[in-house]
């Protein structure tokens, strides 16, 4: 089944952002994931046609990057940071605990298709370690207990809001559309900064900065 | 008077700091108006004279990079911002873009004007969706306000700005891999020369700058070269963001003149977490050789850190206390570099694989002196033998940890495994992990 005329038109607007069409391959792959949930054969086929490339060239790109999935992931994709700093401060323990809770391991999805699990590398939030991401939204300063609550909330259909993100957690597909450059209008939701971000500024103000 | 000096972060505590209204309330886009009244060459000269150096790791003078772009060549020029922040420990550009993306956008417009680029790009790592929303909204608002698009502020200067999401590849933080990725290929580093200034994006003259470097430009235009030069040290001018993380009482961002020491920052942060002491730390991310407590007074500027045997890098100060097993920490970093090796160069692709095998044996207590020698020999054959510095980053924590903690590596063998309790180093040891 092919994409709708409307979806194909969106692809054209994505291609039009770039001086050379091939540059659109990454946002187009994010866009395919926003519709199909992962990089499907029809997605590869359509992108290769649009960009006048061989399907193998598109596949070569999509398999290079870890955010592009060759199989369906959950509606909520949970990433536990297991790079050194987060791992040492609790990420390893959180990962073990989540595996037990979900009864799955890394790169697997729960049978109901709701939650998938990934061991992720450093996500640029080390001052909020241990960090967990869901659909690439920040959950800062996590513990095994707080992640259990997060998972239970996802299962019950009312996940807690990201620590620094929109007021309500969006799905994997919805956030993939944002990464393709399609606005969801939520940029102004959520805090401008967490406490660690403001630590130095607050100290400087208290001391009377230059 | 505080030793800190918030400039980029000065208004991050205002709830609307990320909006165009919040930015304009504090002279936002005033520097752009000033810059457009000068000639492009004058803008380059000013940034050059300020002494601003790249904040993404290498510390190359930003103004010099701009001046390498050939002029009058009738070619398209590009400014590409490297927002692919992913070096372990590094967490400065992400909060900056969350709290004030407009400082970057104003810097991009000024930089593009200076190097005569009419289309610029922000390559943002893909795993930070809310940052993408903030930056995209800021770009949209800058267009609406006439700061982007055709004939900006009536100057005759046109600029298009495109935000591009990466998709989870650390290597794309390397500037030539980033350009390949932006062109729609697998992100693999290119052989240099030619450098991007001659043949960058689409083989056209291109400047690739880090987020913080570009976001610093408006402040220089606004306050002048003398103001900027009054901060920092002889060869490391200005202010910068230091990111403190790990086993400290209060982790977070500290904006200060270059040359502050870890001892000074730790004092402000309430020290190492209660009841513990500093064991080892990185000055600028995992690829910068580690330091110990003997380096607490090293001035954190480009020269000071280099003289002490490491690199300022991204100023990612990761603090580990005595509960942390250095072998476990280093193994995890090496596993990261193995995972992120793009596979182009054999010494990196195969070498990082072997490093992980030996490190795993050492951690499991199955390795001794001869393995340490083999490990160092491998490091010697890996470093400096690839197109980019990824593999150099992989060997840095190994070599530096062996310098300070050789006995701890061997203790794993005599103990028959890791002698550390991993629970003790977590933040929730009493919460029942």
Per-residue pLDDT at A66 exceeds 60: yes
Distance CA B60, CA B52 (A): 9
Confidence (pLDDT) at B331: 98
Which B residues 120-149 touch A at CB under 8 Å? Answer: 125-130, 132-134, 136-137, 140
Distance CA B12, CA B98 (A): 9
State the residue for tokens 């052989």: B191
Q: With an 8 Å Cβ cutoff, is B1 touching chain A?
A: yes
Which of B16, B78, B90, B133 to probe the A interface (max A CBs under 10 A)? B133
Hey, are the CB atoms on B428 and A125 less than 8 Å from each other?
Answer: no
CA distance A54 to chain B (A): 13
Whether A101 and A115 have beta carbons less than 8 Å apart is answered as no
Chain B residues whose beta carbon lies within 8 Å of the beta carbon of residue A67: 126-127, 166-168
- For domain A76-170, the CATH superfamily is Glutaredoxin (3.40.30.10)
Whether B199 and B68 have beta carbons less than 8 Å apart is answered as no
The phi-psi region of residue A53 (left if phi > 0; otherwise alpha if psi is between -120 and 50; otherwise beta) is beta
Q: Please, what CATH class does the domain formed by B20-229 belong to?
A: alpha beta
Residue A83 token pair: 């790079």
Residue A4 token pair: 């709708």
Q: With an 8 Å Cβ cutoff, is B303 touching chain A?
A: no
Instruction: Specify the CATH architecture of the domain B326-423.
Output: Up-down Bundle (1.20)
Which of A140, A162, A173, A197 to probe the B interface (max B CBs under 10 A)? A197
Residue B161 DSSP SS3: strand
Whether B212 and B9 have beta carbons less than 8 Å apart is answered as no
Whether A164 and B130 have beta carbons less than 8 Å apart is answered as yes
Chain B residues whose beta carbon lies within 8 Å of the beta carbon of residue A167: none
Chain B residues whose beta carbon lies within 8 Å of the beta carbon of residue A199: 250-254, 269
B239-321 CATH = 3.10.20.600
Hey, are the CB atoms on A68 and B167 less than 8 Å from each other?
Answer: yes
Which of B15, B56, B129, B359 to probe the A interface (max A CBs under 10 A)? B129
Name the nearest CA neighbour of A37 among A172, A170, A178: A172
Nearest by CB: B127 against A123, A164, A194: A123
Per-residue pLDDT at A2 exceeds 90: yes
B333 to chain A: nearest residue by CA? A84
Residue B80 DSSP SS3: strand
For the whole prediction, is pTM greater than 0.95?
yes
Whether A140 and A125 have beta carbons less than 8 Å apart is answered as yes
pLDDT digits (tens, 9 = 90+) for A89-115: 999 999 999 999 999 999 999 999 999
Note down pLDDT in tens along chain B; length 433 residues: 799 999 999 999 999 999 999 999 999 999 999 999 999 999 999 999 999 999 999 899 999 999 999 999 999 999 999 999 999 999 999 999 999 999 999 999 999 999 999 999 999 999 999 999 999 999 999 999 999 999 999 999 999 999 999 999 999 999 999 999 999 999 999 999 999 999 999 999 999 999 999 999 999 999 999 999 999 999 999 999 999 999 999 999 999 999 999 999 999 999 999 999 999 999 999 999 999 999 999 999 999 999 999 999 999 999 999 999 999 999 999 999 999 999 999 999 999 999 999 999 999 999 999 999 999 999 999 999 999 999 999 999 999 999 999 999 999 999 999 999 999 999 987 544 3
Residue B412 token pair: 């794993």
Nearest by CB: A193 against B95, B125, B427: B95
Nearest by CB: A89 against B132, B243, B427: B427
**Domain span(s) for CATH 3.40.50.11540 in chain B:** 20-229
Chain A residues whose beta carbon lies within 8 Å of the beta carbon of residue B162: 17-18
Q: CA quadruple B107, B111, B113, B118: dihedral positive or negative?
A: negative
Residue B16 DSSP SS3: coil
Chain A residues whose beta carbon lies within 8 Å of the beta carbon of residue B4: 200-201, 203-204, 207, 209
Domain ranges of chain A: 5-62, 76-170
Confidence (pLDDT) at B433: 38
A100 burial class (0-12, 13-18, 19+ CB within 10 angstroms)?
A: exposed
For chain A, give the percent of residues with pLDDT over 90. 98
Hey, are the CB atoms on A121 and B86 less than 8 Å from each other?
Answer: yes
Whether A48 and A57 have beta carbons less than 8 Å apart is answered as yes
pLDDT digits (tens, 9 = 90+) for A143-189: 999 999 999 999 999 999 999 999 999 999 999 999 999 999 999 99
**Domain span(s) for CATH 1.20.1440.230 in chain B:** 326-423
A16 to chain B: nearest residue by CA? B162
Residue B178 token pair: 């980033």
Hey, are the CB atoms on A192 and B98 less than 8 Å from each other?
Answer: yes
Which B residues 334-363 touch A at CB under 8 Å? Answer: 336, 339-340, 342
The confidence band for A1, taking pLDDT boundaries of 50, 70 and 90, is confident
Q: Quick one: DSSP state of residue B282?
A: E
Residue A24 token pair: 């659109």
A162 to chain B: nearest residue by CA? B130
Distance CA B363, CA B398 (A): 13
A54 burial class (0-12, 13-18, 19+ CB within 10 angstroms)?
A: exposed
Q: A5-62, what's its fold?
A: Arc Repressor Mutant, subunit A (1.10.10)
Whether A91 and A121 have beta carbons less than 8 Å apart is answered as no
Hey, are the CB atoms on B4 and A203 less than 8 Å from each other?
Answer: yes
Name the nearest CA neighbour of B294 among B309, B274, B315, B273: B309
């Amino acid at each position: 089944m092919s994409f709708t005329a409307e979806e194909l038109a969106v692809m054209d607007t994505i291609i039009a952002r770039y001086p050379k069409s091939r540059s659109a391959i990454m946002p187009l792959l994010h866009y395919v994931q926003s519709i199909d949930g992962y990089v499907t054969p029809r997605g590869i086929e359509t992108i290769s046609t649009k960009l006048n490339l061989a399907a193998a060239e598109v596949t070569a790109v999509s398999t290079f990057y870890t955010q592009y999935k060759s199989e369906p992931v959950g509606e909520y994709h949970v990433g536990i940071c297991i790079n050194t700093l987060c791992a040492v401060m609790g990420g390893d323990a959180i990962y073990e605990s989540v595996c037990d809770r979900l009864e799955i391991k890394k790169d697997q999805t729960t049978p109901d298709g709701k939650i998938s699990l990934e061991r992720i590398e450093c996500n640029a939030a080390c001052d909020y370690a241990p960090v967990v991401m869901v659909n690439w939204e920040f959950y800062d300063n996590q513990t095994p207990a707080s992640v259990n609550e997060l998972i239970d909330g996802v299962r019950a259909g009312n996940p807690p809001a990201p620590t620094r993100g929109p007021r309500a957690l969006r799905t994997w597909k919805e956030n993939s559309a944002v990464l393709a450059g399609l606005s969801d209008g939520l940029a102004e939701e959520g805090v401008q900064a967490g406490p660690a971000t403001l630590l130095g500024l607050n100290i400087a103000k208290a001391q009377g900065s230059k | 008077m505080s030793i800190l000096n918030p400039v980029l972060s000065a208004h991050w505590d205002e709830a609307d700091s990320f909006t165009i209204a919040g930015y304009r309330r504090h002279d936002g886009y005033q520097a752009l108006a000033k810059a457009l009244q000068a000639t492009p060459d004058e803008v380059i000269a000013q940034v050059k004279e300020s002494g601003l150096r790249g904040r993404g790791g290498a510390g190359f003078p930003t103004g010099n990079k701009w001046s390498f772009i050939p002029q009058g060549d009738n070619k398209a020029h590009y400014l590409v911002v490297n927002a692919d922040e992913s070096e372990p420990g590094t967490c400065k550009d992400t909060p900056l873009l969350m709290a004030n993306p407009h400082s970057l956008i104003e810097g991009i417009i000024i930089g593009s004007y200076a190097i005569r680029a009419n289309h610029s790009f922000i390559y943002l790592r893909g795993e930070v969706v809310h940052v993408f929303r903030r930056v995209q909204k800021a770009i949209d608002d800058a267009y609406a306000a006439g700061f982007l698009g055709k004939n900006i502020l009536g100057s005759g200067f046109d600029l298009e700005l495109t935000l591009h999401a990466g998709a989870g590849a650390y290597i794309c933080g390397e500037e030539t891999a980033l350009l390949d990725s932006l062109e729609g290929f697998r992100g693999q580093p290119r052989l240099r020369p030619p450098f991007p200034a001659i043949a960058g994006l689409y083989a056209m003259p291109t400047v690739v700058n880090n987020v913080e470097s570009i976001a610093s430009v408006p402040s220089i235009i606004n306050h002048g070269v003398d103001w900027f030069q009054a901060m920092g040290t002889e060869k490391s001018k200005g202010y910068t963001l230091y990111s403190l993380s790990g086993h400290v009482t209060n982790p977070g961002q500290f904006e200060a003149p270059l040359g502050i020491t870890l001892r000074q920052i730790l004092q402000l942060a309430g020290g190492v977490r209660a009841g513990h002491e500093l064991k080892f730390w990185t000055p600028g991310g995992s690829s910068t050789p580690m330091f110990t407590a003997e380096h607490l007074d090293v001035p954190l500027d480009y020269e000071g850190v280099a003289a002490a045997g490491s690199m300022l890098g991204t100023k990612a100060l990761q603090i580990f206390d005595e509960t942390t097993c250095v072998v476990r920490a280093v193994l995890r970093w090496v596993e990261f570099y193995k995972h992120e090796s793009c596979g182009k160069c054999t010494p990196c692709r195969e070498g990082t694989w072997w490093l992980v095998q030996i490190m795993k044996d050492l951690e499991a207590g199955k390795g001794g002196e001869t393995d340490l020698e083999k490990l160092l020999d491998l490091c010697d054959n890996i470093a400096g033998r690839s197109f980019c510095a990824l593999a150099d980053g992989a060997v840095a924590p190994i070599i530096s940890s062996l310098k300070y903690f050789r006995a701890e590596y061997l203790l794993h063998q005599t103990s028959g495994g890791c002698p550390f309790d991993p629970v003790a180093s977590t933040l929730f040891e009493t919460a029942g992990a």
